[in-house]
A and B are shown apart, each in its own frame.
Chain A
Amino acid sequence: MPNVSFEHINKSYGNLAVLDGLNLDVEDSDFLVLLGPSGCGKTTLLNLLAGLVEVTSGRIMIGDRDVTELDPKDRGLAMVFQSYALYPTKTVRGNLRFGLAARKLDAAEIERRIAWASNLLQLDPLLGRKPAQLSGGQRQRVAIGRALVKHADVLLFDEPLSNLDAKLRTEMRLEIKKLHDELKPTIVYVTHDQIEAMTMATKIAVMNGGEIQQFGSPDEVYERPQNLFVAGFIGSPQMNLNPGVFSLSTGHPLAALRSGVQVDLSGYAFGHTPQEGEEIIVGFRPEHFSAPNGTVAEPAATFDLTVKIIERTGSDTILSLAYEDRLLAVRTEPDRASALHPGDTVSVAYPKNKLNVFAAGSGLRL
Chain B
Amino acid sequence: MSDPLAVRPAIRLNAGTQEKPVLFPRRKSRINGRSVAVLVFLAMAAAFYCVPLYVLVVTSFKTMEQIRQGAIFALPTEWTWEPWNFAWNEACSGITCEGLKVGFWNSVKILIPSLIASISLSAVTGYALALWNVRWAGTFLFILFMAAFVPFQIIMFPLIQLTVHMGIYGSLWAVAFIHTVMTMPIVTLIFRNYYKDIPDELIKAAMIDSGSFWRIFGEIILPMSANILIVVLIMQITHIWNDYLIGVTFGGPGGQPMTVNLANLVTVSTGTVSYNANMAAALLTAIPPLVIYFVLGKFFVQGISAGAIKG
Q: Are B215 and A85 in contact (CB under 8 A)?
A: no
Q: Are A133 and B307 in contact (CB under 8 A)?
A: yes
Specify which of B206, B211, B220, B308 is in contact with A71 (CB 8 Å cutoff): B211
A window 151-181: CB within 8 A of B: 158, 163
21 contacts between A and B (CB under 8 A): A47-B204, A52-B204, A72-B204, A77-B208, A78-B208, A79-B204, A79-B205, A81-B201, A81-B205, A82-B201, A83-B308, A86-B205, A89-B220, A89-B224, A90-B220, A132-B311, A134-B307, A136-B310, A139-B311, A146-B205, A150-B209
A88-B304 contact, Cβ under 8 Å, with A83-B201, A102-B212, A132-B311? yes
Q: Tell me the total A-B contact number using a CB cutoff of 8 A.
A: 99
Task: Say if the beta carbon of B3 comes within 8 Å of chain A.
Answer: no
Task: Say if the beta carbon of B78 comes within 8 Å of chain A.
Answer: no
Cα distance A77–B211 in the bound complex, in angstroms: 13
The chain B residue with its CB closest to the CB of A78 is: B208
Residues of B near A51 (CB, < 8 A) are 207-208
The chain B residue with its CB closest to the CB of A88 is: B308
Cα distance A134–B310 in the bound complex, in angstroms: 10
Q: Are B210 and A98 in contact (CB under 8 A)?
A: yes
Residues of A near B205 (CB, < 8 A) are 79, 81, 85-87, 146
Cα distance A90–B311 in the bound complex, in angstroms: 17
Number of residues of chain B lying within 8 A (CB) of chain A? 25
Q: Are A132 and B310 in contact (CB under 8 A)?
A: no
B window 3-51: CB within 8 A of A: none
A102-B201 contact, Cβ under 8 Å, with A84-B309, A88-B224, A134-B307? no
Task: Say if the beta carbon of A99 comes within 8 Å of chain B.
Answer: yes
Residues of A near B201 (CB, < 8 A) are 81-83, 85, 158
A102-B207 contact, Cβ under 8 Å, with A83-B310, A85-B199, A85-B202? no
Q: Are B306 and A102 in contact (CB under 8 A)?
A: no
The chain A residue with its CB closest to the CB of B222 is: A89
Task: Say if the beta carbon of B302 comes within 8 Å of chain A.
Answer: no
Minimum CB–CB distance for B90 against chain A, Å: 50
Q: Are A98 and B309 in contact (CB under 8 A)?
A: no
Q: Are A99 and B223 in contact (CB under 8 A)?
A: no
Minimum CB–CB distance for B253 against chain A, Å: 47
Task: Say if the beta carbon of B219 comes within 8 Å of chain A.
Answer: yes
Q: Are B310 and A73 in contact (CB under 8 A)?
A: no
Q: Are A87 and B208 in contact (CB under 8 A)?
A: no
Task: Say if the beta carbon of A131 comes within 8 Å of chain B.
Answer: yes
Cα distance A85–B202 in the bound complex, in angstroms: 5
Task: Say if the beta carbon of B305 comes within 8 Å of chain A.
Answer: yes
Residues of A near B206 (CB, < 8 A) are 87, 98
The chain A residue with its CB closest to the CB of B310 is: A163
B window 206-249: CB within 8 A of A: 206-212, 215, 219-220, 223-224
Minimum CB–CB distance for B220 against chain A, Å: 5
Minimum CB–CB distance for A143 against chain B, Å: 8
The chain B residue with its CB closest to the CB of A134 is: B307
Residues of A near B202 (CB, < 8 A) are 83, 85, 87-88
Best-buried of A50, A81, A150, A163 by chain B (most CB within 10 Å): A81
The chain B residue with its CB closest to the CB of A135 is: B311
B window 159-213: CB within 8 A of A: 199, 201-202, 204-212
